[in-house]
């Protein structure tokens, strides 16, 4: 997992625009669960290399990019139902999350990302004292 | 005074064109509804996402002179839950993708991936040797290599010239 710092070398007038890359990218299927203390993302990234997965959290936006090695089926194609390309997806989460505690795990082609909420924004139970 | 035709050629042409368009539209709607009612709801593409138990993994296939290679996207599936069986002209891949996280009662959730059992029968372009098949699962992708049976291997046939 790589946490990228905001780029300070951009010469574009607006640094808020996402970086554009000319390579074709596919949107992976992602399940999202709000578990209260954290938000859980489960993304299907079949064929992606573990060391090619890049996760960033910047300005409240969680971005996932994953590199997929090229197609290497030998011989001539008979059936082709899915494209081979890199994956890219982004989610706007907003404020209130602790970027330093984001954890990610990749297993069997599935990426799991846990984005914990800041303790300060978690609901707090307040005891009422009887005077 | 000149007679002004009640219906010009152009307007009648437009009308027949729009009628043809309407007929096309009606046929298309009939086809849609026939498909809608003749198939179970789960098999309709409109109901495909998020319906557990009804999904088909995407498959790629290639071949050379001696082998057939099949690759299927099966992310998040324990290899123990995948069953690959081969007959002479058909490859069957079935299994089950178990939900990693059941939606808990609290908080919202959004699901895009498919869960549940699947079964996909893939016709093979040539007969294969069922005893000579290897299957491998890596990074959510199942790869199956099948060896073509010798009987189906292409042979060069010499073309004889006519005459004696």
Pick the CATH number of A26-71+83-121 from 3.40.630.30, 2.60.40.790, 3.40.50.12280, 3.40.50.720: 2.60.40.790
B90 in the same domain as B37: no
SS3 annotation, B17-49: HHHHHHHHHHHHHHHHHHHHHHCCHHHCHHHCC
Contact B100, B76 (CB under 8 A): yes
> A34 and chain B: CB distance < 8 Å anywhere?
yes
Whole-prediction pTM = 0.67
Best mutation target, A43, A109, A111, to test chain B (most B CBs within 10 A): A109
| Domain layout of chain A by residue ranges | 26-71+83-121
pLDDT at position A106 over 60: yes
Q: Which of A105, A100, A93 is nearest to A119 (CA)?
A: A100
B74: nearest CA in chain A?
Answer: A46
Pick from A67-71, A102-106, B15-19: least confident: B15-19
> B106 and chain A: CB distance < 8 Å anywhere?
yes
Domain range enclosing B92: 52-100+114-152
Cβ-based contacts of A42 with chain B (< 8 Å): 76, 100-101, 113
User: ipTM beyond 0.90?
Assistant: no
B148 in the same domain as B123: yes
B128 in the same domain as B92: yes
């Amino acid at each position: 997992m790589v946490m990228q710092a905001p780029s300070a070398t951009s010469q574009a007038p607006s640094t808020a625009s996402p970086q554009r890359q000319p390579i074709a990218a596919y949107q992976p299927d992602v399940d999202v669960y709000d578990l209260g203390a954290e938000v859980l993302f489960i993304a299907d990234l079949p064929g992606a290399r573990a060391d090619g997965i890049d996760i960033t959290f910047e300005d409240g936006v969680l971005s996932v990019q994953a590199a997929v090695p090229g197609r290497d089926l030998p011989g001539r194609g008979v059936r082709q139902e899915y494209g081979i390309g890199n994956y890219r997806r982004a989610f706007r989460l907003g404020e209130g999350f602790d970027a330093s505690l984001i954890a990610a795990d990749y297993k069997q082609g599935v990426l799991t990302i846990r984005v914990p909420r800041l303790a300060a924004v978690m609901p707090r139970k307040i005891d009422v004292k009887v005077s | 005074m000149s007679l002004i035709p009640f219906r010009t050629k152009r307007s009648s042409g437009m009308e027949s064109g729009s009628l043809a368009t309407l007929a096309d539209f009606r046929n298309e709607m009939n086809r849609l509804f026939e498909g809608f009612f003749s198939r179970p709801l789960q098999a309709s593409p409109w109901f495909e996402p998020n319906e557990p138990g009804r999904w088909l993994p995407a498959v790629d296939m290639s071949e050379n002179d001696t082998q057939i290679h099949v690759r299927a996207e099966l992310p998040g599936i324990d290899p123990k839950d995948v069953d690959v069986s081969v007959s002479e002209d058909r490859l069957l891949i079935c299994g089950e993708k178990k939900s990693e996280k059941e939606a808990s009662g609290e908080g919202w959730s959004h699901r895009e991936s498919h869960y549940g059992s699947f079964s996909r029968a893939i016709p093979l372009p040539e007969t294969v040797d069922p005893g000579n098949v290897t299957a491998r699962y890596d990074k959510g992708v199942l790869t199956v290599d099948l060896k073509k049976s010798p009987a189906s291997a292409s042979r060069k046939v010499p073309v004889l010239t006519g005459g004696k």
